[in-house]
Amino acid sequence: MLFIDGDHSFSACRRDFEAFHHLLSPGSIVVFHDTGPFSMKEVNLLHELEAKLGKELLVPTADGKGIYHQPNVPRSIDWITERYPQQYNLVSLSTLQEPCCGLVIMQKVARLFMPRRDLS
């Protein structure tokens, strides 16, 4: 199992995945943490995050309940499924509330060994 919970930037998620996915055996599980929304309980927290991350990195949900997410972790999941479409299956996408803030579980696809036949 590979559990990725880094600094939540796209480049860090991608780097962590690229560094270790080749070590996984078929059927292994990859889990990404903090893929879902987190609630803004205090206005001050929102202002602190906007100052730190920039307003464009905080995307409000359509329900208007003041729930935001950082798009970079889910973006890295999209990148993996586009780059390795035959190697990984999306098993579970859970959007949870605090303290977990979501998990994405992917499984490395098992491949059968098919020896080449000598036709000579």
Identify the pLDDT of residue 62: 40
How many other C-beta atoms can be found within 10 angstroms of the C-beta atom of residue 13? Answer: 26
Rounded to 5°, the CA angle 84-92-10 comes to: 50
Lookup: tokens for 27? 């059927």
pLDDT of residue 80: 82
| pLDDT the model gives residue 70 | 55
Q: Specify the pTM.
A: 0.52
Q: Where are the alpha helices (DSSP H) in 1-120?
A: 10-20, 43-53, 72-83
Q: What is the pLDDT of residue 66?
A: 45
Task: Give the Cα separation of 40 and 99 in Å (integer).
Answer: 12
Q: Decide: helix, strand or coil at residue 92.
A: strand
Give the C-alpha separation, 62 to 25, whole Å. Answer: 39
Query: For the chain (length 120 residues), average pLDDT per consecutive 10?
Result: 78 85 82 64 57 55 46 73 79 55 70 53
